[in-house]
């Protein structure tokens, strides 16, 4: 005669053990997928290249400041001022042959009292010496250069021209805003070319821009012998994604 018995408390159905195990396995698999996918995305995001792009352009100065410095001497201040005025009139007349009076200005003279100074022969010097400047400011750069070549005429008229390192002729370029967009685009293209070359060498392709920064524009003389020609330069830094 067969006797049936009910399971004891320590014995559980097999199906009751399988379900929790399957759920745990599925959970581990999903967590592994998401972790792996996250690592893959992080690795892709780290595939970047940083390059610099350069753009240079030569331009002509469009503004010139020409200070014409001269000096005079006299034994008294009244005579000194008179001689300053006489020389200034000659300088202005020389400039007004090619430029308007609005382009010409004159500063206050700088006076030096030389009392007690003597030349080697023992003859006393004029007590006072004045340094004065007549300044021309104009956009007519080529005319200024032509006038500079003729400035020896002033010496022939008795104007004691002097060289002052404090008052050098300045050639300026003021049209940066008109060429800035083109130069930025040129520097960006140069950066892109560098990134594509790097990507080609590494078996990748260039993606979108991650970050970009524009450097400062610099304006310098092309060389010391032609200050009227300027070199404009800008460097951009661009970071690209690599695919």
Whose tokens are 């999903």? That residue is 30
User: What is residue 44's three-state secondary structure?
Assistant: helix
Q: What is the mean pLDDT of residues 29-42?
A: 44
How confident is the model at residue 121, as a pLDDT?
A: 59
Percent of the chain with pLDDT over 90: 65
- Other C-beta atoms closer than 10 Å to the C-beta of 20 total 9
- The domains spanning 47-60+175-242 and 63-172 adopt the same CATH topology: no
- Specify the CATH class of 63-172 in words: alpha beta
When pLDDT is averaged across residues 149-170 and rounded to a whole number, the result is: 93
Q: What is the pLDDT of residue 230?
A: 97
**Is residue 69 scored above 90 in pLDDT?**
yes
The SS3 call for residue 84 is: helix
Give residue for tokens 């960006």. Answer: 188
Task: Tell me the mean pLDDT in the region 86-91.
Answer: 97
Is the pLDDT assigned to residue 23 strictly greater than 60?
A: no
pLDDT tier for residue 214 given thresholds of 50, 70 and 90: confident
Q: What is the pLDDT of residue 47?
A: 86
State the pLDDT at residue 37: 45
Report pLDDT digits (tens) over 186-206. 999 999 999 999 889 888 899
pLDDT for 21 equals 55
Look at residue 114 in the predicted model and tell me its pLDDT. Answer: 87
| pLDDT higher at 67 or 20 | 67
Which pLDDT belongs to residue 2? 47
Asked which of 117-131, 157-171, 191-205 is least confident by mean pLDDT, the reply is 117-131
Mean pLDDT of 37-48: 52
pLDDT at site 41: 43
**pLDDT of the residue at 42:** 39
Residues in Cβ contact with 49 at an 8 Å cutoff, skipping those fewer than 6 apart: 195, 198, 199, 206, 239, 240, 242
Q: Which class would CATH give 47-60+175-242?
A: alpha beta
Task: Share the mean pLDDT of the chain.
Answer: 84
Give CA–CA dist 104/90, Å, rounded.
13
Q: What residue segments make up the domains of the chain, in order of their start?
A: 47-60+175-242, 63-172
User: Phi, psi at residue 128, to the nearest 5°?
Assistant: -115, 140
């Amino acid at each position: 005669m067969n006797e049936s018995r009910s399971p004891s408390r320590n014995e559980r159905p097999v199906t009751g053990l399988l379900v929790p195990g399957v759920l745990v396995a599925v959970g581990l698999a999903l967590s592994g997928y998401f972790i792996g996918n996250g690592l893959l995305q992080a690795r892709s995001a780290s595939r970047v290249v940083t390059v610099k792009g350069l753009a240079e352009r030569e331009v002509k100065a469009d503004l010139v400041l020409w200070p014409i410095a001269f000096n005079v001497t006299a034994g008294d201040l009244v005579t000194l001022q008179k001689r300053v005025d006489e020389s200034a009139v000659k300088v202005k007349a020389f400039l007004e042959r090619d430029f308007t009076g609005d382009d010409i200005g004159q500063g206050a003279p700088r006076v030096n009292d030389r009392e007690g100074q003597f030349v080697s022969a023992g003859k006393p010097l004029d007590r006072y010496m004045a340094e004065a400047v007549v300044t021309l400011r104009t956009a007519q750069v080529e005319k200024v250069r032509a006038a500079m070549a003729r400035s020896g005429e002033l010496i022939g008229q008795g104007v004691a021209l002097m060289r002052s390192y404090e008052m050098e002729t300045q050639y300026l370029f003021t049209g940066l805003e008109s060429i800035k967009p083109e130069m930025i685009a040129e520097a960006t293209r140069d950066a892109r070319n560098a990134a594509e070359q790097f990507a080609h060498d590494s078996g990748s392709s260039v993606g979108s821009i991650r970050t970009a920064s524009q450097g400062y524009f610099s304006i310098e003389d092309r060389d010391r012998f032609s200050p009227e020609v300027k070199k404009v330069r800008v460097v951009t830094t661009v970071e690209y994604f690599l695919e």
